[in-house]
Amino acid sequence: MADPLVRFEGVRKTYGAGGPAAVQSLDLDIARGELLTLLGPSGSGKTTTLMMLAGFEMPTQGRILLEGRDIAHTAPHKRGIGVVFQSYALFPHMSVAENVAFPLSVRGIPRAEREERVRKALAMVRLEGFADRRPQQLSGGQQQRVALARAMVFEPPIVLLDEPLGALDKALREEMQLEIRHLHQRLGITMMYVTHDQAEALTLSDRIAVFEGGRIRQCADPRRLYDRPADAFVAGFVGENNLLPGTIEARDSEDCTIRLACGPVVTAQAVDCGARGESCLVAIRPERVAVSGVTASDLGEGALPAILQEAIFLGDHVRLRLSVGDGGEILAKRPAGVGTLPEPGGPAAIAWPGGAAFAFRPPPARV
């Protein structure tokens, strides 16, 4: 990336001597004005990465550049980075306005300017009328908006948010996701956002870096991540996927033929898989699996015979659990009220469009 705002270069972090690395070997650029999300399961190294950029942890190896400058020896408060954590960390004895003004007071901004900036920051998060309240007089969502205003009031080059909505209930979380997204779009401020929630990452992000075991598995925009996952981990973590074990029977540079462990032979795009004879996982999204009540031979080449085990009505869509071959199971998903279904327990046929299935190496066994 040309002229990134932030650059991680070969960054590694181990806590204590001889322990495993929390962050393995991180190369990552953050563009000016983008909202980049670090997405991954608990313990995958997201917070460690954020804390190194904020200056609360030191890299064991490698460099972090902010606007081209190595910030290794710059103290956290001198980096001028705004941070929002899951726990609101507001000062309980201060009013909302005093909380938001705090970073400005620390920086010696004169009172008149301070008041003007606090007023603007509170308007930005739609809390104009709340300046004199105490944090404990606010709801969780409002407290988190105060934290956001406080992180942005001194116009930092980048704001870091670590699971900021983790303590909120689902409806409020979804509302705040849109609010953060709109705030980001309106102000063009650069943000690095940490979450373990893939739906949240898809909602918010310009780009998503998927973390696992202290490494980035893939960094791409939401659509590409969903449509072209780079490996089996990303395929399983972002959105839903059937991941069917099998063995490669033939392959060229683009496609391969796989015998599934449950019996049938299928074709899939060879994204990241081994050679003939090696095991692999075939990824197929539930919404790409078409289910019909006719037999597989009626459906033509590529269709597989299956048995519909269960149809679960979920309002806007129906989830179908099908058994395939000898002990195989495939999940399908379709909009509710579309087409007819075989009776549960009855024969069905499943098919998917060419190119919808991907073959990946199985993830290495964890020790």
45 binds ligand ADP (CB under 6 A): yes
- Would you give the DSSP letter of residue 361? P
CB of 44 to ligand ADP, least distance (A): 4
C-alpha to C-alpha distances, 34 to 67, 130, 174, 330, nearest whole angstrom: 14, 30, 20, 37
Q: To the nearest whole angstrom, how small is the minimum distance from the Cβ of residue 102 to ligand ADP?
A: 26
Q: Which range in 35-43, 171-179, 231-239, 312-320 contacts ligand ADP by CB under 6 A?
A: 35-43
Q: Does 47 bind Mg ion (CB under 5 A)?
A: yes
How long a stretch of residues is the chain? 367
DSSP string, 51-100: HHHHTSS--SEEEEEETTEE-TTS-HHHHT-EEE-SS----TTS-HHHHH
238 binds, among Mg ion, ligand ADP, none (CB under 5 to 8 A by kind): none
CB nearer to ligand ADP: pick between 45 and 164: 45
Query: Token match 């941070």: residue?
Result: 83
Nearer to ligand ADP, 47 or 241 (CB): 47
Which of Mg ion, ligand ADP, none does residue 241 bind (CB under 5 to 8 Å by kind)?
none
Measured CA to CA, the distance from residue 112 to residue 116 in angstroms comes to: 6
CA distances from 188 to 6, 89, 321 (A): 16, 25, 44
Least separation in angstroms between CB 38 and ligand ADP: 8
345 burial type by CB count under 10 A (0-12 exposed, 13-18 middle, 19+ buried): exposed
Which of 8, 26, 30, 48 touches ligand ADP by CB under 6 A?
Answer: 48
Alpha-carbon distance of 30 to 149, in angstroms, equals 22
SS3 46: helix
As measured in angstroms, the least distance from the Cβ of 135 to ligand ADP is 25
Q: Which residue, chain included where needed, has tokens 């998917």?
A: 352
Q: How far is the CB of 46 from ligand ADP (least distance, A)?
A: 4
The binder of ligand ADP chosen from 15, 56, 91, 313 (CB under 6 A): 15
Listed residue (63, 35, 80, 366) closest to 195, CA to CA: 35
Q: Which residue in the shown chain puts its C-beta closest to Mg ion?
A: 47
Minimal distance in Å, beta carbon 149 to ligand ADP? 24
Residue closer to ligand ADP by CB (options 42, 253) is 42
- With tokens 């991180």, the residue in question is 26
Q: Contact with ligand ADP (CB under 6 A): which of 2, 17, 18, 42?
A: 42
Report how far apart, in Å, the C-alpha atoms of 235 and of each of 143, 226, 229, 241, 300 are: 35, 7, 5, 6, 28
Q: Which is nearer to ligand ADP, 314 or 367 (CB)?
A: 367
Q: Which stretch binds ligand ADP (CB under 6 A): 39-47, 218-226, 269-277, 324-332?
A: 39-47
Contact with ligand ADP (CB under 6 A) among 43, 62, 157, 166:
43
Q: Which of 8, 28, 37, 44 binds ligand ADP (CB under 6 A)?
A: 44
Verify binding: residue 46, ligand ADP, rule CB under 6 A: yes
Residues that bind ligand ADP (CB under 6 A): 15, 22, 40, 42-48
Residues that bind Mg ion (CB under 5 A): 47
